[in-house]
Amino acid sequence: MSRNIYVKHRPAVIGAGLTLFRRRMLETPKELAWIAAKQALDEAGLTLKDIDCVVIGSAPDTFDGVHFKGEYLADGSGGVGKPTMRVFVGGATGVMVPIAAWWHVASGHCKTVLAVAEEKMSSADIPHPQAVFRYIWDPITEVPLQPNLIWIFAMEMHRYMYKCGAKKEDIALVSVKNKRNALDHPAAQVAANITVDDVLKSEMLVWPVQLLDISPVSDGAAAFIVASEDVARRQTDTPVWIDGVGWTLDTTSWTNRDLAFPEYANVAAQMAYRMAGITNPRREIDVAEVYDPFDYKELHHMEGLGLAKKCEAPKLTKEGVTQRDGDLPINPSGGLLGVGNPIAAAGTMKVAEIYWQLAGKAGKRQVRKPAYTGLAHAWGDLMQASTVVVMRV
């Protein structure tokens, strides 16, 4: 297929690991990183001696209270004495981690990469982790307005609702679905059997965003092993190939964009689809883990990723298409809304979930339909960064 022209060595995921996602975890950031890393190594049948390179992903240093967090996490992530790098693109970091691991292996530089993402948001209770983001705003045009992230995303949600005629009841179905899916996830922080009415009656934060529209503050880590084809086939009967990668960064000037459609997601997805030889993602993607820190973002990103037409995602959700037993399962893990949102680790969790789905190892979370091609996606910064991987068996 056309994807073969992009790589010298075809990379595959051969093992993954995940800590619990919780608020105020007692483990240190290094300990969280190692717990996930050790699980991934064990599943792949490898030890640290077998690892050539290490990729670390983590969001703002302020969360853990340690500057140069990549260097700080190196020993907990198995990076001491090995070529090690940290990637950071805000909330999109979690899927930038496999992209960085991919290029290490695809280039031939490394045969095995241990990829680890960690976040400990609880350390930044000042009084709330959102305070970390007080310095991301333009000091001239935005700081005087005293914005926060929920304030901004409420504007985006409102714009999406207006442009698409989406109702709060339709958007709430995403939170209901994902929290219920998470009941089957052993790491889940906020799994619950809730109703649309529960969402609509939850605390109003900034209209139209309510408490149950949002993922929680979380601590946790996720990891996986990416290996070259010869190593992958030697270590496992179920390698899951990374066949397409894409990433993009839009302008910080969010006021200059139509917030109803995530162009950043579309650009990153098209890059990954070209590499993977995908021309009709709605039909060719069997299962997707779409970034869902807010319930409306699952719908928003489905459309940006080409998994639904513009303004069609609420209809597909209402019809059950995105359920675990539906025609296009979206976030069968429970996503960020159900499992939790330790920012970088949350995106990497989605990559691990697609690996387990395609390898047939997702347990109670396994989708009903046969799954051969999956997508993992993350998003971050001021509605501007997007990262996408396409994986196959």
User: Which of the residue ranges 223-232, 235-244, 265-274, 381-390 would you say has the lowest mean pLDDT?
Assistant: 381-390
The answer to whether the bond into 139 is cis (omega within 30° of 0) is: no
Report yes or no on whether pTM surpasses 0.85.
yes
Structural domain includes residue 157:
no
The predicted structure's pLDDT at residue 205: 95
In the chain, the percentage of residues whose pLDDT exceeds 90 is: 83
The predicted structure's pLDDT at residue 149: 86
State pLDDT tens for residues 5-34: 567 789 999 999 999 999 999 999 999 999
Q: Which value, in Å, is the radius of gyration of the alpha carbons in the chain?
A: 19
Structural domain includes residue 176:
no
Mean pLDDT computed over 200-218: 96
Mean pLDDT computed over 283-287: 98
Residue 86: band (very low, low, confident or very high) from pLDDT cuts 50, 70, 90: very high
The token pair at 140 is 């001239």
Structural domain includes residue 199:
no
Residue 317's domain comprises: 12-126+215-392
Mean pLDDT computed over 270-298: 98
The predicted structure's pLDDT at residue 1: 40
CATH number of the domain enclosing 17: 3.40.47.10
The predicted structure's pLDDT at residue 185: 98
Contacts of 360 (CB under 8 A, 6+ apart): 238, 366
State pLDDT tens for residues 328-385: 999 999 999 999 999 999 999 999 999 999 999 999 999 999 999 999 999 998 888 9
Give dist(CA 181, CA 333) in Å, integer: 6
Mean pLDDT computed over 306-315: 98
Res 114 pLDDT > 60: yes
Count of structural domains, the chain: 1
Region of 146 on the Ramachandran plot (φ > 0 left; ψ -120 to 50 alpha; else beta): left
The predicted structure's pLDDT at residue 82: 96
Structural domain includes residue 206:
no
**Whole-number average pLDDT of the chain:** 94
Residue in the structure block whose two tokens are 């998470």: 182
Looking at per-residue pLDDT, the higher value among 46 and 3 belongs to 46
Structural domain includes residue 301:
yes
- 2-18 b/e (C-beta count within 10 Å ≥ 16 → b): ebeeebebbbbbbbbbb
Mean pLDDT computed over 306-324: 98
Structural domain includes residue 144:
no
The predicted structure's pLDDT at residue 126: 66
The token pair at 108 is 């031939």
Mean pLDDT computed over 220-241: 97
Burial bucket for residue 186 (CB in 10 Å: 0-12, 13-18, 19+) = exposed
Structural domain includes residue 149:
no
The predicted structure's pLDDT at residue 122: 82
Backbone angles phi, psi at 320, to 5 degrees: 85, 5
